[in-house]
Amino acid sequence: MSMLRGRWILLLAVLAGGLWMADASWAQEAEEAVEAVVEAVEEAAAEVAPPTAEEAAALAEAEAAAAEAGDYSVEYAAPDDGDYSIAIVDTPKFTIDNLWICIAGCLVFIMHLGFAMVESGLTRAKNTVNILFKNSMIICIGFVTYGIMGFNLHYPGYGDDSAGWFAFAGFGFLAQGSEILNDPSLMTSSGYGLDMTAYADFFFQAMFCATGATIVCGSVAGRIKLLPFLIFITFFTAIVYPLVGSWHWGGGYLNKMDTAFYDFAGSTVVHSVGGWGALVGAIVLGPRLGKYASDGTIQPIPGHNMPLVTIGVFLLWFGWFGFNGGSVLAADAGLVSLVLCTTTFAAAAGGLATAITSWVIGGKPDLSMALNGILAGLVGITAGADQMAMWEAVLIGAIAGVLVYFSVLLLDKLKIDDPVGAVSVHLTCGIWGTLVVGIFGDSAGGAQLTSQIIGIVVVGIATVILSAIGFLVLKFTLGIRVSEEEEIEGLDLGEHDMSAYPDFQQTFIKSYHAREI
């Protein structure tokens, strides 16, 4: 037993000695490696010339400016030739700005759910699936087509010598050879040329493009064929919206005037563009069956789900905080908070004004009108949300609320059937919101008001012509209106062979159904 214990002790002693020797060898090797690294660093440092007095002064000046602005940190780098240069490094502010823009884009995305609810709730139950399908496809088509060509048509890079009417940067963003996909520098402010990444810029702007197209959907509800509608939306998001928008946001003609046209978040370049397209579509299609009697009497066709409409309007209001707030294009605490307040004041005033107007004139308060009044106030403030005082926002929203009420009545008198009031909300109030920049804005006066009028007219003429071409070509080729039988039966069954409410059966006879809807 003692012999066995002795063997174990001897074995442990040998192992301990071996470990000590190995440890000593490793330590010696590590020490030699550290000494080699230190020598290499000292040699490299000796080869690099220190910054000259001028370079040191430039560095100090840049650091002071960056510290004051709070935007960047500054470092100096020594290239192989020893010539020191200033390198701007993106900081937390750059990250926060981009995060806010992306969040704002997500809020605008939520607006499409709001549009789907408003449009389906204000139309008949038999068309619900069709409305929801079209709204779903608008965001899908809009995002892809804007990526393929719309973005580079919207922001083509007009030169100083360009008239600013048309330019195209090519099929870029989603193309295999796209610079944005292959150039990492475009993920920084200094590389991309803006205080955001290329992806943040595209994501936010693509949501705006799809929003403009969604406006058209409501005015043609209940009677347009599905395929021609989807083709028109592709045309609208790929060409119409980007081209017209490039004249302002893309640095085109409207920006090159002596007094530049101003539209902060899109009363004209988003909402009026969509409104003009909606107006053309409603006129080319004609009214729904039974909407206007032969003697000129207007037959109301009420929506089927007002709770859905109400939820949709509040989702739109919520999304508008990203629509307007994100248009600051930075997480600027002061300006973003101002925009959110003016946006909310205008929406609230619009809803109040329309509710009161409908109550006084109609004898009873109209919920659908009041909800459209909220949207009217939002559209009205969008062009100048960053420039208005709170009382101005209230006034703008209130007037927009009154305008939307009388616009709905006027369109009915003209026998232009707009089931959801898209033209009245987005076109009428978009024009008002654009004009008001020349009345209350920072540069208010005759010159600015003239520029605003020019912008409204130019955008209106172009959008009407392009939209008319799109709708008329489709009308005389594929045909754009469903048959009377399909319209009476409902587009859910006619276009999709399904129902949004399969547990509920229609019990009305066909003639009564046709007369009432």
* pLDDT for the residue 385: 97
Query: Environment class of residue 162 by beta-carbon count within 10 Å: exposed (0-12), middle (13-18) or buried (19+)?
Result: middle
Q: What is the structure's pLDDT at 204?
A: 95
pLDDT at 73: 40
Confidence of residue 31 (pLDDT cuts 50, 70, 90): low
Which pLDDT score, from 0 to 100, does residue 87 have? 36
Q: Which residues contact 157 (CB under 8 A, 6 or more apart)?
A: 167, 169, 251
| Whether the Cβ atoms of residue 427 and residue 279 lie closer than 8 Å to each other | yes
Which range, 30-34, 99-103, 194-198, 291-295, is most confident?
99-103
- In whole angstroms, give the CA distance from residue 449 to residue 342: 21
Radius of gyration of the chain (CA): 31
**Residue 167: what pLDDT?**
78
Q: Which residue has the higher pLDDT, 476 or 514?
A: 476
HSE-CB at 468 with a 13 A cutoff on CA atoms is 7
Dihedral Cα 278, 284, 290, 292, nearest 10 deg: 90
Q: Which pLDDT belongs to residue 195? A: 75
Between the two ends of the chain, the Cα-to-Cα distance in Å is 106
Range with lowest mean pLDDT among 12-21, 214-223, 315-324: 12-21
- As beta bridge partners, residue 72 has 90
Mean pLDDT of 290-318: 93
Identify the top-confidence range among 62-71, 294-303, 373-382, 484-493.
373-382
Q: Which two tokens stand for residue 71?
A: 């935007």
Q: How far apart are CA 327 and CA 280, in angstroms?
A: 28
Q: Number of C-alpha atoms within 13 angstroms, CB side, residue 170? A: 7
Task: Tell me the residue type at 219.
Answer: S
**Tokens found for residue 438:** 């020349």
Query: What was the pLDDT predicted at 2?
Result: 47
> Quick one: DSSP state of residue 363?
S
Please state, in angstroms and as integers, the Cα–Cα distance from residue 69 to each residue in 12, 92, 193, 325, 362, following that order.
Answer: 67, 13, 18, 21, 56
Q: Please state the length of the chain.
A: 517
* Residue 123 amino acid letter: T
Q: Which residue do the tokens 């080729």 mark?
A: 477
pLDDT at 421: 97
The single-letter DSSP state of residue 71 is S
Q: Is the pLDDT of residue 446 over 80?
A: yes
- Model pLDDT for residues 137-191, shown as the tens digit of each residue: 999 999 999 999 999 899 887 766 676 777 777 776 554 444 544 455 555 554 4
Contacts of 98 (CB under 8 A, 6+ apart): 196, 197, 200
Residue 104's pLDDT band, with cuts at 50, 70 and 90, is very high
Confidence (pLDDT) at 47:
53
Closest by Cα among 88, 76, 20 to 48: 76
111-120 pLDDT, tens digit per residue, is: 999 999 999 9
Q: 511 pLDDT band (50/70/90 cuts)?
A: very low
* Mean of all residue pLDDT scores within the chain: 83
Please check the confidence at residue 401 and state whether its pLDDT lies above 70: yes
Q: At what angle do helices 390-413 and 333-362 cross, to 10 degrees?
A: 40
Residue 283, pLDDT > 60, answer: yes
- What confidence category does residue 86 fall into, taking pLDDT thresholds of 50, 70 and 90? very low
Of the pLDDT bands very low, low, confident and very high (cuts 50, 70, 90), residue 50 is low
Share of the chain above pLDDT 90, in %: 65
Q: Which residues contact 447 (CB under 8 A, 6 or more apart)?
A: 258, 259
Q: Give yes or no for a contact between 343 and 394, defined as CB atoms under 8 angstroms apart.
A: no
- DSSP secondary structure, 461-482, as one string: HHHHHHHHHHHHHHHTTT--B-
d(CA 105, CA 319): 9
Instruction: Please tell me the predicted confidence (pLDDT) of residue 464.
Output: 98
The residue-averaged pLDDT of 85-90 equals 40
Q: Answer yes or no: is pLDDT of 256 > 50.
A: yes
The dihedral through the CA atoms of 225, 226, 232, 233 has a sign that is positive
CA proximity to 200, closest of 338, 316, 326:
326
* pLDDT at res. 108: 98
Q: Is 401 within 8 Å of 422 (Cβ atoms)?
A: no
pLDDT surpasses 70 at 513: no
163 or 18, higher pLDDT: 163
How far from 202 is each of 141, 168, 180, 250, 387, CA to CA, in Å? 15, 16, 10, 13, 25
From 259-268, 394-403, 414-423, 503-512, the region with the lowest mean pLDDT? 503-512
Q: Which one-letter DSSP state was computed for residue 403?
A: H
Q: Model-level pTM?
A: 0.79
Q: Determine contact, residues 123/131, Cβ cutoff 8 Å.
A: yes
What the chain holds in terms of domains, given with CATH numbers, is 43-90 (no CATH), 93-496 (1.10.3430.10)
